[in-house]
A and B are shown apart, each in its own frame.
Chain A
Amino acid sequence: MSYKAPEELKNFQRIALGVGGIGTLALLIGGLISPEMREQALRSWLLGFVFWGGISIGSLGILLLQYLTGGAWGVIIRRIVEASSRTLTLVAVMFIPILLGASTIYEWTHPEKADETLKRILDHRAPYLNLPAWIARAVIYFGLWFLMVYLLNKWSKQMDETGDWKLLKKASQFSGPAMVFFVLLVSFASIDWVMTLDPHFYSTIWGFLFAAGWGLASYAFTIAVLAWLSTREPMNQVIGRRHFHDLGKLLLAFVMVWAYFNFSQFLIIWSGNLPEETFWYLERMEGGWGIIGVILIVFHFAFPFVVLLSRDVKRNARWLASIAIFIIVMRFVDLYYIIGPSPRVTLHGAKLSFSESISWMDFVGPLAVGGLWLWYFFGELQKRPLVPVNDPFLESAIEHGKSH
Chain B
Amino acid sequence: MSEKKLYGIMAEFDTPTELVDAARRVRDAGYTKTDAFSPFPIHEIDEALGIRRSILPFLVFGGGVLGLLTGLGLQYYTHVIDYPIIVGGRPHFSLPAFIPPAYELTILFASFTAVFGMLFLNGLPMPYHPVFNVPRFALASRDKFFLLIERRDPKFEYEETRKFMESLNPQEVFDVEE
Contact = CB atoms under 8 A, between A and B. Distances in A.
Interface of A: 263, 266-267, 270-271, 273, 309, 311, 403-404
A263 B95 CA distance: 12
Contacts of A267: 96-97, 99-100
A266 B44 CA distance: 48
B125 interface: no
Nearest to B47: A404
A271 B44 CA distance: 53
A309 B96 contact: no
Nearest to A263: B99
Interface in B33-55: 43-44, 46-47
Given A271-B88, A273-B90, 19 more contacts: A263-B99, A266-B96, A267-B96, A267-B97, A267-B99, A267-B100, A270-B96, A270-B97, A271-B97, A273-B88, A273-B89, A309-B57, A309-B61, A311-B57, A403-B43, A404-B43, A404-B44, A404-B46, A404-B47
Contacts of A273: 88-90
Nearest to A266: B96
8 contacts: A263-B99, A267-B99, A267-B100, A270-B96, A271-B96, A273-B88, A404-B44, A404-B46
Contacts of A403: 43
Interface string B89-113: 1100000110110000000000000
Nearest to B94: A270
A271 B88 CA distance: 8
Contacts of A271: 88, 96-97
Contacts of A270: 96-97
A217 to B, nearest CB: 24
The listed residue with most A CB atoms (<10 A of its CB), out of B46, B96, B97, is: B96
A294 B43 CA distance: 44
Interface of B: 43-44, 46-47, 57, 61, 88-90, 96-97, 99-100
Contacts of B46: 404
A266 B100 CA distance: 12
A404 B47 CA distance: 9
Nearest to B95: A270
Contacts of B100: 267
A263 B96 CA distance: 9
A404 B57 CA distance: 17
Please list the 6 inter-chain residue pairs (A to B) with the smallest Cβ-Cβ separation, ordered nearest first.
Answer: A404-B43, A270-B96, A403-B43, A267-B96, A266-B96, A263-B99
Nearest to A267: B96
A267 B43 CA distance: 45
Contacts of B61: 309
A82 B43 CA distance: 33
A271 B96 CA distance: 9
Contacts of A263: 99
Nearest to B44: A404
A263 B100 CA distance: 10
A38 to B, nearest CB: 39
A400 to B, nearest CB: 11
A270 B90 CA distance: 10
A273 B90 CA distance: 10
A311 B58 CA distance: 11
Nearest to B100: A267
A282 B96 CA distance: 15
A278 B79 CA distance: 24
A233 to B, nearest CB: 27
A263 B99 CA distance: 9
Contacts of B57: 309, 311
A93 to B, nearest CB: 42
A309 B99 CA distance: 20
A349 to B, nearest CB: 29
Contacts of B88: 271, 273
